[in-house]
Structure 1
Amino acid sequence: MDKRIKWGIIGVIGIGLAVLGIRTFTPRENEDLSEAERSLPRESTSSKALNVNAKIIKPHLLTEELFVTGRLVPDEEVNLSFETSGKIIDINFQEGTFVTEGQLLAKVNDSQLQAQLKRLEAQMPLAEDRVFRQNALLQRDAVSKEAYEQVKTELATLHADIENVRASIDMTELRAPFDGIIGLRQVSVGAYASPTTVIAKLTKITPLKVEFDVPERYAHQIKKGTNLSFEIEGHLDSFNSTVYATESRIDDETHTLTVRALYPNEGGSLLPGHYANIQLKQQEIADAIAIPSEAIVPEMGKNKVFIYRSGVAQPVDVEIGIRTDAEVQILRGLAAGDTILTSGTLQLRQDMPVIIDKID
């Protein structure tokens, strides 16, 4: 082969290798990385306006209400039992029915006491005759004063014995201490009863008591005559009641005051044992400046509200008063006619542009 051709081929190969080496070691742009960088959002040079809701302040009646949970308790309730021991010989009530005060409900055997009573009553005529005869003799000085006093004492003792037996007989009778509904009986005829044996439960449900506890900060506001309303699960209507008494002191452990109200419960439609959702009206403020609770922004121990001025948000420090479920009273910082921002409050900053989507 011609030397010139040979060296020419070698030269071309050398140039090719040189170009390949330079391309390999020359830094190049990472196309994947560049694409990712191009996809990142660029910060706008101008602030973006925040879409918010707003409300124009209008003075209105604000009612402070307290919501607590209570329970319905009977006006009176007692476990019925005999005052003496004996075998039950009669039960005179039907379970779950209304009974009246003094009605005979049950009785234990009193045959021995009845026999004692008859024996003592049989002695009465003779004892009374002795006193009569001794008195007549005393008038004629035929007997001593002491003899007359002796027969009088015997008659008085006989009277006392009779009353004692009659009292024992009364103890064998179980009578209703008040009007009410008698519950399920726990014994049967023939059972032996003692003073610890519960025969049934008697409950007075007309009226009913509404018992509940209020935090100590409200204790001075709850007084006799305070009106309230309550709701019972399963009933669509609410019921009105009036406080008639409060406990004499604050509970040391719960720091609450126990309160009782009275509900007439005419017809006995409600039963004791129900839980009651109670609503108490504390005070009413006319022409109050009140705003939605969500408009309040707590910050560094203070409360602030953002108001709308010339298209931007401006923070204002406020002093709050009473709270309800949905609103907060503003004592200082706002006035009627101010437009407050009620949404996006955590994103708002001073002089941030805002666009009002909805205004109340």
Structure 2
Amino acid sequence: MKKSIPIVASGILLLFGAVFALHGWREEQLAQARKENAHPLVTVSAAKAAWATITPQSTAVGQIRAQQGAALSLQTAGVIRSLQFHSGETVQQGQVLLRLDPGSLPGALREAQAQAKLATINAQRAARVYAIHGISTAELDRAKYGAEVANAKVQSLQEALGNTVLRAPFSGVLGLRQVEVGEYLPAGKTAVRLESPQNLQVDFAVPQNLAPFIQPGEKLRLQSRQGEKGQQFVAQVIAVDNHVDRANRALTVRAQIRRSGFLRPGMFVLVNLPTTSPQRRLTIPQVAVAYHSYGDFVYLLKRQGQDWIAEATPVQLGAVEGQKVVVRKGLQAGDQVVTAGQVKLHNGDQVRINNAVSLH
């Protein structure tokens, strides 16, 4: 009996040893799994939030318009016989776009031309006879005015026939076609819209108290979103309306856009208007901001021991000044924010800062 006790004790010790070994192996496997699932170290570039002197601005909503633009239609109603253009096509001034069925107009014109030719010959003959006192002055006048009436009728029919043809009044780009062959086209109905995209303008209204700051020649900045990314454009004021709207006490301003890019007539843009003297504001590079419908944020870099950690931080933004944007709330001067490499980041990731390379 006494001999069996050491054997049992040894078995128990071996059992406990196996349990501890299994536990250690499982912990090692879990640690390895956590290491494999952890986000790798991300290389980013960064910049500090810093004070800058900017000119405070208010904003207005402007609408893009073409310097030349028109909804093309005909003064004459009729059935469309042929269409000689496609949607989105670039056309030249005078190019034929559409023809209506002229009906009896060509025949009436030929008849009128023949009558005008005869009336002209009769007037010339009457003048020769009158020169030898063969007819009275009244008869000569009837012959002359008869020729004028006949030629006027020819001109009228030529104009009526010309009104059955739609031509491009200027060179530009056509919009979407609104009609089809065989369709009855009422007088004045738009067949297609023509715009000249080379010279775009923007119209916007400003309160009367800002009138002293908006004068012809003043340079303005426009903002428009292209997807989630904002883009800026430069415009120059070319005219200010001479009448204040009684309904809202505002002046309408027109500015010429330089390098219009993806802008199209009818689009809305945000117009930045200078309002007061320059002021000191906290700014960050605009590329650091992630714009989202639920709120704008930046990746703020914070020290955690010897490491840098990226933390998604909501911010409230102000005016855009060049490549920088004003931060109203969310950051302090000296805070470092990620300016490139955000696409690879998750909240809480460990990062390495390298401003010597361009990151995408």
Normalised by the size of structure 2, how large is the TM-score?
Answer: 0.59
Return the offset for 1:284: 5.3
Q: Which has the higher Rg, Structure 1 or Structure 2?
A: 1
What pairs with 1:1-360 in structure 2 (closer than 5 Å)? 63-234=55-226, 237-265=231-259, 269-282=262-275
Aligned to 1:206, the other structure's residue is in SS state: coil
Letter paired with 1:241: A
User: Is the 1:87–1:193 contact (alpha carbons within 8 Å) kept by the matching residues of 2?
Assistant: yes
Return the offset for 1:122: 1.6
Aligned to 2:79, the other structure's residue is in SS state: strand
Distance 2:270 2:186 in 1: 41
Distance 1:213 1:95 in 2: 33
Counterparts in 2 of 1:196 and 1:291: CA distance versus 1, 3 Å = closer
% identical equivalent positions:
27
Aligned to 2:159, the other structure's residue is in SS state: helix
Return the offset for 1:83: 0.9
Distance 1:271 1:142 in 2: 72
User: Is the 1:205–1:265 contact (alpha carbons within 8 Å) kept by the matching residues of 2?
Assistant: no
Partner deviation per Cα, 1:216-250 (whole Å, 9 max, x = no partner): 21112211111112122116552211111122233
Bigger shift: residues 141-150 or 164-173: 141-150
Aligned to 2:265, the other structure's residue is in SS state: coil
Distance 1:80 1:242 in 2: 29
Letter paired with 2:220: L
Return the offset for 1:262: 1.1
Distance 1:102 1:153 in 2: 35
User: Is the 2:234–2:258 contact (alpha carbons within 8 Å) kept by the matching residues of 1?
Assistant: no
User: Is the 2:62–2:205 contact (alpha carbons within 8 Å) kept by the matching residues of 1?
Assistant: yes
Aligned to 2:68, the other structure's residue is in SS state: strand
Aligned to 1:263, the other structure's residue is in SS state: strand
Displaced runs of 4 or more, over 4 A: 282-285, 357-360
- Report the aligned-residue RMSD: 3.1
Partner deviation per Cα, 1:49-105 (whole Å, 9 max, x = no partner): xxxxxxxxx9x9653433333221222333222211111101111111112222211
Letter paired with 1:248: N
Distance 1:66 1:291 in 2: 15
User: Is the 2:213–2:274 contact (alpha carbons within 8 Å) kept by the matching residues of 1?
Assistant: no
Aligned to 2:253, the other structure's residue is in SS state: strand
Distance 2:158 2:117 in 1: 18
Partner deviation per Cα, 1:183-227 (whole Å, 9 max, x = no partner): 111221111111143212222322111122222211122111111
Return the offset for 1:156: 0.3
Aligned to 2:152, the other structure's residue is in SS state: helix
Return the offset for 1:154: 0.6
Counterparts in 2 of 1:138 and 1:75: CA distance versus 1, 3 Å = same
Aligned to 1:205, the other structure's residue is in SS state: coil
User: Is the 1:183–1:201 contact (alpha carbons within 8 Å) kept by the matching residues of 2?
Assistant: yes
Distance 2:179 2:54 in 1: 58
Return the offset for 1:111: 3.6
Aligned residue-pair number:
238
Aligned to 2:67, the other structure's residue is in SS state: strand
Return the offset for 1:291: 7.8
For structure 2, which runs of at least 5 residues remain unmatched after alignment?
A: 1-50, 283-317, 320-328, 336-360
Letter paired with 2:95: Q
Aligned to 2:55, the other structure's residue is in SS state: strand
User: Is the 2:54–2:281 contact (alpha carbons within 8 Å) kept by the matching residues of 1?
Assistant: no
Normalised by the size of structure 1, how large is the TM-score?
Answer: 0.59
